[in-house]
Amino acid sequence: MIQISALPAFTDNYIWLLQDHASQRCAVVDPGDAAPVQAWLAAHPGWVLSDILITHHHHDHVGGVEALKQASNATVYGPASENIPGRDVALNDNDSVRVLGWDFAVYAVPGHTLGHIAYYHHGLLFCGDTLFAAGCGRLFEGTPQQMHDSLSRLAALPEDTLVYCTHEYTLSNLKFAAAVEPGNPDIAARLEKVTQQRQNGVMTLPSTLALEKLTNPFLRTAETLVTQKVDERNGAQNRAPSEVFAALRAWKDKF
């Protein structure tokens, strides 16, 4: 059985650590900083870092890769179309990788960056900066249509899927969600719970796709109350869900 835990990095990043206790091998996802991983390995003698999974090229996700690879000889997986330091295996849409005995499907999810990928193993989703708890990543390279399509693809996975994104943005995202849907009781309840968690220094991840569908405005672009709020802000018109998404993302960027 693989255990998954979070190694905090920078101000709000999480490096996900996958541990296979049978073999004492471990893998990390998006190590933007080598130090938290090195500290964990130093505190757990006998463990070997065997794999590094990368979702996209931003420095806070790849900054620690080369130092970790040099110290461990780990295999580095990352998107084929992006410049990933130390990458050994270049991944494209619908590829699969075997890590610690588990098979992960690779999904292209452009939007935040053009080459962004996600890793899915039944019940688990490592989605980098594409889908956040109650939010989504900014569009640094892709179009609103691309990001809407990427989120729709992830939302089609089983509802009990655990969502392991890489930033602790849940509280600020829920404040925006409450502005979009002030009458949504699921958002209100989650905002209250997450506010308490953050006051106590408790992390809010992983989420589940079921919870995201109830509380994440970027997965709710077809909901009447969401489209009405967008129309109220931007002037009423019948919009495609991707256009509702674009309006929401533009609003969130200035929220």
Q: How far apart are CA 150 and CA 31, in angstroms?
A: 23
Largest CA distance in the chain: 62
Q: How far apart are CA 9 and CA 17, in angstroms?
A: 12
Q: Are 24 and 54 in contact (CB under 8 A)?
A: no
Q: Give the catalytic positions in this structure.
A: 56, 58, 60-61, 112, 129, 167
Pick from 49, 46, 66: which is nearest to 7 by CA?
A: 49
Q: What is the residue type of 87?
A: R
The token duo for 49 is 């870092």
Helices and strands of the chain, counted as H and E runs? 9, 14
User: Under 8 Å CB-to-CB from 253, ≥6 apart: which residues?
Assistant: 138
Q: 78 φ, ψ to 5°? A: -165, 170
Q: How far apart are CA 135 and CA 148, in angstroms?
A: 12
Q: Are 74 and 85 in contact (CB under 8 A)?
A: no
CA 133 to centroid of chain Cα atoms = 8
